[in-house]
Structure 1
Amino acid sequence: MNHDPIDPALAALRSASADCSTPQRVEQALMAAFATQFARKRWYQRLSPAQWGLAGGLGSAAAAMLAVLILRAPLPGAAGDAPLPQLDDGLAFIALASQERIEQEPHPRMLETSLPRTELAALGVPVSPDTAGDSVRAEMLVGADGAPLALRLSSQ
């Protein structure tokens, strides 16, 4: 076996230091100082201000890109869909036929006519009983076969 000349000296030092220990209050003070210096931080305290700035910048850029994408998307009812009725002299046409039928008509004609007010009540226009017997001037959009397509009340 190997006998090292230092072994007996180390054994004596080991037995002498086994009896030595720090007082309890010193160990508690050291542990408290360590706990305050290296306290466990919450997740948001672990990030540096530069990291928070980077996260805010990336979040703002993502929100801006989302806003641009939403604004560039076509809205329902916009171009490509059926055109909205155009106002003419403040009055719009009342469709008497379907939108498809009106759009398929190659050469519609405009005719001026007078209608009894009772006919307007059937179209949903409010009519008072006092003027129900009167007639009103109207413009009609008529197809090539003579079928009425749309009606517009005239102010004259």
Structure 2
Amino acid sequence: MKGTVGELGEFGLIRELTSRLTTTPAVRLGPGDDAAVVSAPDRRVVASTDILLEGRHFRRDWSTAYDVGRKAAAQNLADIAAMGAVPTALLLGLVVPAELPVTWPTELMDGIRDECQVAGAAVVGGDVVRGDTITVAITALGDL
């Protein structure tokens, strides 16, 4: 594995992140495509989204990437549960600097994955781009 996000490249990082994921029976397609297909047995879907911005919602000298991932997933999954829904899927939008060590986003994904497993949900897709500030945007879906 290369040392930084810039060295690994966008598609290399996506491969590295998706290789860490697990799935659930609700996931019909994803991750790895431009969109995901998730079952909604009663045809009603609850959605929630939150964004964590480095320097505002977390600092790397205070929190591990794993902890940031758990927090990002947990706050969205809790919003779904608060509406009386069962969490089924998460979509991740991730902005990372090119010089960021690859271990940071992979540990972030481990935290997200582990929190999803607790709730019975799965990461089904998302988007990764390079930028100046780490930004973690999660959209959670749930079934009523």
The structure showing larger relative contact order (alpha-carbon pairs under 8 Å, at least 6 residues apart) is 2
Q: Which has the higher strand share?
A: 2
- Which is greater in Rg? 1
Q: Which has the higher helix share?
A: 1
TM-score (norm 2): 0.20
